[in-house]
Structure 1
Amino acid sequence: MHQSVSVDHLKTVLTDLPRHSATKYINHGTLTPAYFEQAEASLTDLKLYLVVSNTGSPASEIISAFTQKQYNHVSLAFDRELKTIISYNGGDNVYPPGLNAENLAFFHQKDDASVLVYSLPVTQAQKTFVLDKLTTINREGSAYNLVGLVAKHSFRPNIMFCSQFVYTMLRLAGVAYFDKQPGEVRPTDFIELDYYKKLCFEYEITF
């Protein structure tokens, strides 16, 4: 815990705070037409992919110190090759905090970073519903729910953190396989609360 909550990590998180907002949408239209074209091309694959990661980012390491969990970020993808990874994050100092596309480089922020990929069977209608919801959020705007990590509350619907976002998408699409308040869901819940074995492990990525 002492190693994770280092002075450098704390400084990085505190320096990043002014970029965030708990009450207004600050991320608008970050997802490009190319992203949606790629996602639409994957609609015939009747699975959604859950990407649970141990990225090594300062925020992830601090969260890990308190949760005592190795994996502290979760994302969704429409394809098995992870060309369409999406989640709520801090924007990696490139985009505003909120709903952003991700790539494998995003997960490699320490030498022992790792990624677990699981698939969840869905219908094409359910997968299309999730994509339509992403389109709406991208148009309306979003923000990363940094306050919600502690308060477990969102001031507006499109202000979420990663696990809150993934669970909300699954629940709205009718494929959530455990029952929990979205603001209380943590990344490892998607694995640990899979009592009915809805997920299928696909593969692991190590760097």
Structure 2
Amino acid sequence: MDKKVYILLTDTGTVFTKTIKQYTKAPYNHSSIAFDEHLLELYSFGRKNPRNPLYAGFIKEDILNGTYKLYPQTTCSVYEIIVTDRQIEKMKRMIGLFERKKDQMIYNIFGVIGVALREPLEPRGSYFCSQFVSELLERAGIKLWNKIPALVTPDDFRRSDKTKLVYEGLLLDYPPLKKAAK
């Protein structure tokens, strides 16, 4: 039986995201992956401390109590991808590895620069958000495009013909999230 994973693309409006947006011209500049439509099992590479953008790495995101709580006007789009049980199992196993090594994992700021230069920069143990999500999908056998993870941007998920848009608007207005928060 087919299952779904969800790709969450967001724009918090922070200085960092505004800077990226000026270059990319894309509506969203952060990506995360969720294993449930309520976005409760949500993972990415981003801020470990909501108030400190420089302290970043592998994170389990919490929309209601984490970084997004500080930015209630965050806009988003949510996409679904049809996957198999086996692919979910592979991705969750990889998430477990990331969780065990989370203190050794850092945010790949050089990789973000590499995307701009169209030259992959992949220091060991470091990822940026879309690189992480893409790598997770690819290692589970889900190929959305012919591009290596170190060059994938959040906008690539939006433009893929293998993702289906299920919501766009304010993150805190996302209907399944509102149901889960009650």
Normalised TM-score (structure 1): 0.70
Q: Which has the larger radius of gyration?
A: 1
Give aligned-pair identity as a percent.
29
Would the aligned equivalents of 2:2 and 2:82 in 1 still touch at CA under 8 Å? no
Per-residue deviation, residues 56-75 of structure 1 (Å, max 9, x unmatched): 12221111111111210010
Give the structure 2 partner of residue 122 of structure 1.
Answer: 83
Which aligned runs of 4 or more in structure 1 are off by greater than 2 angstroms? 92-96, 103-113
| Contact kept in structure 2, 1:88 and 1:165, CA below 8 Å | yes
Q: Which residue of 2 is the match for residue 135 of structure 1?
A: 96
Q: 1:57 aligns with which of 5, 14, 18?
A: 14
> Could you give the per-residue CA deviations for residues 142-166 of structure 1, whole angstroms, max 9, x where no partner exists?
111012111331110x310001001
In the alignment, what sits opposite 2:126? 159
Cα separation, partners in 2 of 1:189 and 1:108, compared to 1, 3 Å: farther
Query: For each residue in 1:138-191, what CA deviation from the matched residue of structure 2 results, as whole angstroms up to 9, or x when unmatched?
Result: 2133111012111331110x3100010011011101112211121211100111
> What TM-score, normalized to structure 2?
0.79
Q: 1:111 to 1:79 in 2, by over 3 A?
A: closer
Higher strand share: 2
State whether structure 2 residue 137 is matched by structure 1 residue 176: no
Does structure 1 conserve the Cα–Cα contact (< 8 Å) formed by 2:68 and 2:74? yes
Q: Which residue of 2 aligns with 1:85?
A: 42
The answer to whether structure 1 residue 190 and structure 2 residue 157 are counterparts is yes
Is 2:5–2:33's contact at 8 Å kept on the other side of the alignment?
Answer: yes
Residue in structure 2 matched with residue 102 of structure 1 by the alignment? 61
CA offsets 1:85-107 (integer angstroms, 9 cap, x no match) = 11000222479521101122433
Alpha-carbon deviations, 1:4-55, whole Å to 9, x = none? xxxxxxxxxxxxxxxxxxxxxxxxxxxxxxxxxxxxxxxx871110001111
Cα 1:111–1:132 change in 2 (3 A) is: closer
Q: Aligned pairs, how many?
A: 160
The unaligned stretches of length 5 or more in structure 1 are 1-43
Distance 1:113 1:90 in 2: 15
CA RMSD, aligned part only?
2.2
* Matched letter for residue 113 of structure 2: V
The residue number in structure 2 matching 1:48 is: 5
